[in-house]
Chains A and B, each alone.
Chain A
Amino acid sequence: MVIERIDAQLPGAILDRHAFRGDATIVVAPGRLTELVDFIFLEGFQLLADITAVDWEAREPRFDVVYHLLNLVSQDRLRIKVPVADGEAVPSLTGRYKSADWAEREVFDLFGIRFDGHPDLRRLLMWEDFPGHPLRKDYPLDGGDPFCTQDIGASYSPEARSLNA
């Protein structure tokens, strides 16, 4: 399994691992991300399917940047989670994967996580001078539109927020 090989090659890189119904996830610190990605690229994980992030509002570090990779040789999938704090930057994977370009721009746009070494880090989905980062947990769902709050007095029902409480 590739995780064993990662452990052999880069000891201490994997902070945590879990698997669920066949998919494997490893948790890696942002400092070790580049060498890990270089290693698994040579292992055959040459398709970066997606980069996304999770905002754990109450946890420290606040965000988890999640990478989904596919091994083109063995058809294995790997998920890498990188915990980053608010304001901390993650090394960019645009050198290795072309698909990281827009995926990282999307994460920057919606969460505000910066990527070091990205050639053109600017907003992708929202417009360039949009204030705030919409997918953070403290951003109101309706964007502060008073029209949307007028009937229930809040932008969305308070109960709906606490999925991960």
Chain B
Amino acid sequence: MGAIMLDDSVMTTRLDSVVNWARKNSLWPLPFGTACCAIEFMSMMASRYDFSRFGAEALRFSPRQSDLLLVLGTITNKQAPVLRQIYAQMAEPKWVVAVGVCASSGGMYRTYSTLQGIDRVVPVDVYVPGCPPRPETMIHGVMELQKKITRESLSMRKDHIERFYQSLARQEELQKARGLSGYQVVREMVLEAGNQGGQQIW
């Protein structure tokens, strides 16, 4: 439970395949680089590994102008609501790749300050393991995302995005109701989800 459930009975039409081809070959990343994985990302963008041959030449550091959120590095609990806000401000279609073990699961940091995986606060499409992952691994991760995009359909409902916006609304309600900062509300939502056995707050 907690995996993004893909509707297996969806048939992709020819229009879908054209649209998916266009989308997967023009993924404009938003490099949400916080730590060492960002350095490996820089290496991936450079000429030897050349990420731009996947259509990702245009790095957009704004959520409005990008469609792929690459979370590169450790996300602290203080950074969690910031990440949620960035993801909320992106326009569909949007995908998230958790690059590195810190983004995937908290990595080697099992502490009070580190978010134990960004999938607790935002929906994630692909996890790329490594500390840091080699550029080839990250490219492999994006290629897996491309395969995933090929299987999408225009008529498919993206439940995980809907649930995310509902959790954002819950977060805002809690903030207003209890007068706490966004950081404390998200932390409490994460701990409460942990208490109930799940981990995700979306």
The answer to A–B direct touch (Cβ < 8 A) is: yes
Identify the A interface with B (CB < 8 A): 125-131, 134, 139-148, 156
Give the bracket for the number of chain B residues in contact with chain A: 10 to 19
**B78, A128: Cβ atoms under 8 Å?**
no
B180 at the interface (CB under 8 A from A): yes
Residue pairs across A and B with CB atoms within 8 Å: the count is: 46
**B112, A142: Cβ atoms under 8 Å?**
yes
| Stretch of B40-48, B123-131, B152-160, B191-199 lying at the A interface | B191-199
Produce 1/0 per residue, B20-56, CB < 8 A to A.
Answer: 0000000000000000000000000000000000000
Residues from chain A with Cβ under 8 Å of B116 in the complex = 145, 147-148
* Interface SS, A side: loop
**A129, B112: Cβ atoms under 8 Å?**
no
A139 and B184 in contact, given A126-B78, A145-B191, A146-B195 (Cβ under 8 angstroms)? no
* Interface SS, B side: loop
Q: Which 6 A-B pairs have the closest CB atoms?
A: A143-B112, A127-B183, A146-B194, A147-B194, A129-B184, A134-B112
Closest residue on chain A to residue B106 by CB atoms: A148
Min Cβ gap B107→A in Å is 13
Min Cβ gap A134→B in Å is 5
**B191, A144: Cβ atoms under 8 Å?**
yes
Min Cβ gap A106→B in Å is 13
Closest residue on chain B to residue A143 by CB atoms: B112
25 contacts between A and B (CB under 8 A): A125-B113, A126-B78, A126-B113, A127-B181, A127-B184, A129-B183, A129-B184, A130-B183, A130-B184, A131-B184, A134-B113, A139-B112, A140-B112, A141-B110, A141-B112, A142-B111, A143-B112, A144-B112, A144-B191, A145-B116, A145-B191, A145-B194, A146-B195, A147-B194, A156-B110
Closest residue on chain A to residue B116 by CB atoms: A147
**B183, A147: Cβ atoms under 8 Å?**
no
Alpha-carbon distance between A27 and B193 when the two chains are bound, in angstroms: 47
**B195, A143: Cβ atoms under 8 Å?**
no
Min Cβ gap A3→B in Å is 38
Residues from chain B with Cβ under 8 Å of A131 in the complex = 184
Query: Which residue of the partner chain, among A125, A128, A142, A148, contacts B181 with CB atoms under 8 Å?
Result: A128
Min Cβ gap B15→A in Å is 42
Residues from chain B with Cβ under 8 Å of A143 in the complex = 77, 111-113
Closest residue on chain A to residue B196 by CB atoms: A146
Alpha-carbon distance between A142 and B194 when the two chains are bound, in angstroms: 13
Residues from chain A with Cβ under 8 Å of B181 in the complex = 127-129
Query: Which residue of the partner chain, among A128, A139, A147, contacts B199 with CB atoms under 8 Å?
Result: A147
Closest residue on chain A to residue B198 by CB atoms: A147
Closest residue on chain B to residue A141 by CB atoms: B111
What 17 new A-B contacts, CB under 8 Å, besides A126-B113, A143-B112, A147-B194?
A: A126-B78, A127-B78, A129-B183, A129-B184, A134-B112, A134-B113, A141-B110, A142-B110, A142-B111, A142-B112, A143-B77, A143-B113, A145-B112, A145-B194, A147-B116, A148-B110, A148-B116
Alpha-carbon distance between A164 and B110 when the two chains are bound, in angstroms: 22
Closest residue on chain A to residue B199 by CB atoms: A147
**A129, B191: Cβ atoms under 8 Å?**
no
Min Cβ gap A48→B in Å is 25
Which of the listed residues A125, A126, A131 has the most CB atoms from chain B within 10 Å of its own CB? Answer: A126
**A129, B194: Cβ atoms under 8 Å?**
no
Residues from chain B with Cβ under 8 Å of A156 in the complex = 110
Produce 1/0 per residue, B94-121, CB < 8 A to A.
Answer: 0000000000000000111100100000
